[in-house]
Amino acid sequence: MTADQKTLLVVEDDPGLQSQMRWCFEGYDVVVAGDRESALTELRLRRPAVVTLDLGLPPDPANASEGLATLEEILKVAPHTKVIVVTGNEDRENALKSISLGAYDFYQKPIDSDILGHIIGRAQRLYELEEENRKLAERPEESMQGMIAIGPEMTQVCRTVEKVAPTDATTLIIGESGTGKELIARALHRLSGRAKGSFVAINCAAIPENLLESELFGYEKGAFTGAAKKTRGKLEYANGGTLFLDEVGDLPMALQAKLLRFLQERIIERVGGRTEIPVDVRVVCATHQDINKLIKEGGFREDLFYRICEITLNVPPLRERRGDALALARFFLNKYAKEQGRSCRLAEASVAAIEAYEWPGNVRELDNRIKRAVIMAEGDQISAADLELAASTQQITPRTIKQVKHDAVREALVWTLNYVDGNLTHTADLLGVTRPTLYALLDKYGLRK
């Protein structure tokens, strides 16, 4: 078994099919078991992501009950394993029964290695995606709790958060509404030395301008009509912790000047007060607006901008985060299914619809659609209609390891040939291969001309 091979457990009692399955799946370490006992032994030993299971097992291959019992045992030992049931042509009833028991998919004999390989590859990809989600969910409290990042776009954001969090740098988070800016702000707080202090959030767009100043800075008794007692503001409550100013682009100009003074001197004065109060707080800001455009239009102070953006984090919209929509969908599905006491899974058509949709409302929209679908769905499968999404005409075809390698090698050859203007000696040198090897690769990928 090589480092990049995945384990595939084949539960099959026919020696001929055992031999065929053992050799026809490139990229997998194929382990064969001929009965329930040996299958469970190999399952516990190897922990495969995918299992193919023939329902006709000894002692009575003509009766599917042994195979169905084996399926239940496999899922009891390894509930996340993807089991593909292999049945005879006339055994559709038991195939459907196996799906209701928790099998991932079924395939009818005779075996076509290409078609079955496609199903196995899709199951392997799904298992790896779900496993990554489980690892993220199981991280301890100090980690990026609540953040799910499968693609490189959000993974880079998470790495930046981990670097920035231990500092006291004032941070500006920029991103569309619903992308998770407050989650990132909370992660910055939780990973910092201020984690034991308070995390205080205020939405600058949600509070009327005449109340925002007193909400932020507090007020003295008698400062205005209705000020019956001295009241601390959000900045004082956040002392020793983190203050999160959401939608800072909506902060009125008068308050921008007062916030700038605080950031420079780290002291405040309550409304109606004269006493200077020192406050030790880290400030994290967020906005969905283009701050540079606001500055040009006179809606935001340039000097304040440079104070709040010591570190800037750009959060990409969900449509630009490869793989994240489906990972988040499954996370929300598990969460809400558990809350509702249901067992739900995404139908294949809904998976395609999720990946094809643009998600203008970003993660917040996805969260709402999944929650509504779990509540409203009639059966245990969430359809595209349950999500109120149009069925996608695109067919999702996960690539095998062999395809990924093929595409990567061809891309490297094409890019390098273009870079050196077709010079084969330079191409071989840059790729680290000999001239004969390069000629063989050019012939294999049809690039000799």
Structural contact between residues 267 and 277, judged by C-beta atoms closer than 8 angstroms: yes
Distance between CA 417 and CA 408 in Å, rounded?
14
The angle at the Cα of 149, spanning 365 to 316, to the nearest 5 degrees, equals 60
Alpha-carbon distance 401 to 6, whole Å?
10
The sign of the CA dihedral 141, 142, 147, 150 is: negative
Tally of CA atoms within 13 A in the half-sphere of 90 that contains its CB: 2
pLDDT given at position 268: 93
CATH of domain 401-444: 1.10.10
Fold held by 6-136: Rossmann fold (3.40.50)
Residue ranges per structural domain of the chain: 6-136, 152-316, 319-382, 401-444
How would you classify residue 33: left for phi > 0, otherwise alpha for psi between -120 and 50, otherwise beta?
Answer: beta
152-316: CATH architecture: 3-Layer(aba) Sandwich (3.40)
User: Distance (Å, rounded) from C-alpha 233 to C-alpha 236?
Assistant: 6
Q: Collapse the DSSP code of 277 into the 3-class scheme (helix H, G, I; strand E, B; otherwise coil) and give the result.
A: strand
Residue 264 is classified by DSSP as H
Fold: same for 6-136 and 152-316: yes
What pLDDT score does 186 carry? 94
| 3-state class (DSSP) for residue 292 | helix
> What pLDDT does 424 receive?
86
pLDDT in tens, the chain (449 residues): 555 578 999 998 888 888 888 888 877 889 999 888 999 999 988 899 999 998 878 777 777 788 888 999 999 989 999 999 988 766 778 888 888 889 998 888 888 888 888 889 889 988 988 887 776 655 444 445 667 877 788 888 988 999 999 999 999 999 999 999 999 999 999 999 999 999 999 999 999 988 999 999 999 998 888 888 999 999 999 999 999 999 999 999 999 999 999 999 999 999 999 899 999 999 999 999 999 999 999 999 999 999 999 999 999 999 998 888 988 998 999 999 999 998 888 888 888 899 899 999 999 999 999 999 999 998 889 999 999 998 754 555 556 677 777 778 888 888 787 777 778 888 888 888 888 888 888 888 777 65
Q: In this structure, how many other beta carbons lie within 10 angstroms of the beta carbon of residue 197?
A: 17
CATH for the 319-382 domain, from 1.10.8.60, 3.90.79.10, 3.40.50.720, 1.10.10.10: 1.10.8.60
Give pLDDT, residue 224: 86
The C-alpha atoms of residue 244 and residue 313 are separated, in whole angstroms, by 14
